[in-house]
Amino acid sequence: MRKKIIAGNWKMNMTPSQAVALCETLKPLVKDAQADVVFCVPAIDIVPVVAAVEGTDIAVGAENFYIEDKGAFTGEISAPMLVEAGVKYIIIGHSERRDIFGENDILINQKVKKAFASGLTPILCCGESLTLRKNGTYKEWIARQIAWDLTGITADQVKELVIAYEPIWAIGTGETATSEQAQEVCKLIRDIIAEMYDTDTAEKVRIQYGGSMNAANAAELLAMPDIDGGLIGGASLKPDFGVVANAANA
């Protein structure tokens, strides 16, 4: 039985003081969640958020990093910096990083490798645009993303991995994939993992849905057999996140 994982992706929101206040709001609301609960926060909020959630079961994730440990990479943050600060999870390959910041699958694959080498658990994002959804090629697209991004990653690593299926047309739009649409692709991803590795690995990898998941639709999405959690943007910044986290309670 896979443990559900509910991760907030705060994106570029919350100053350090706002971040601490949000932690204080959310802590009592997620304390009975049976799922793993993760707050993925902006780099500058990591240190205060790690302090704010100390003594709880909440884990802290980062939203980005670079593949080198240190050096002349102005503006970047490294895996050793994140690990020392107390970060456990790292979002990799989010569509905003792919589309706005030009990250390609070669870099994303390097980031997945670096995360594992550093003891960080990747939350690897994949997902199709509205064009690919409409022209019916979204399955091939997802299969290609997964194959590229996991090149050279071992079965034992994949068992620890979290994959987030985030259809781009559902991110921040208020338009959620139906639970059937989300289940279809999450199952497809599990089948791809079974083909690339084996069924044991496919049964262990946790696959989240992301894209306008909220207090109203979380329970239905999380009831689907291949949806093991959620990556939540907008609703992670408000008390709704507590409802989503508890919606995973069986």
* Percent helix, percent strand, percent coil in the chain, to nearest 5: 50, 15, 35
Nearest to ligand PGA of 167, 193 (CB atom):
167
Does position 212 interact with ligand PGA (CB under 6 A)? The reply is yes
180 is catalytic: no
Q: Which of 58, 59, 231, 247 binds ligand PGA (CB under 6 A)?
A: 231
Residue showing tokens 């507590």: 242
184 is catalytic: no
Segment interacting with ligand PGA (CB under 6 A) among 73-81, 108-116, 126-134, 206-214? 206-214
Asked whether the CA dihedral 106, 110, 115, 117 is positive or negative, the reply is positive
Residue 58 contacts by C-beta under 8 Å, 6 or more apart in sequence? Answer: 23, 27, 30, 37, 38, 39
d(CA 228, CA 193): 15
Q: Which amino acid appears at position 235 of this protein?
A: A
Nearest to ligand PGA of 188, 232 (CB atom):
232
Q: Which two tokens stand for residue 15?
A: 């100053």
Does position 210 interact with ligand PGA (CB under 6 A)? The reply is yes
Segment interacting with ligand PGA (CB under 6 A) among 29-37, 139-147, 150-158, 230-238? 230-238
Nearest to ligand PGA of 29, 232 (CB atom):
232
Q: Which of 36, 105, 149, 166 binds ligand PGA (CB under 6 A)?
A: 166
Residue 174: CB minimum distance to ligand PGA, A = 8
User: Residue 202's closest CA among 223, 187, 217?
Assistant: 187
> What is the set of active-site residues?
94, 166
Footprint on this chain of ligand PGA (rule: CB under 6 A): 9, 166, 171-172, 210-213, 231-235
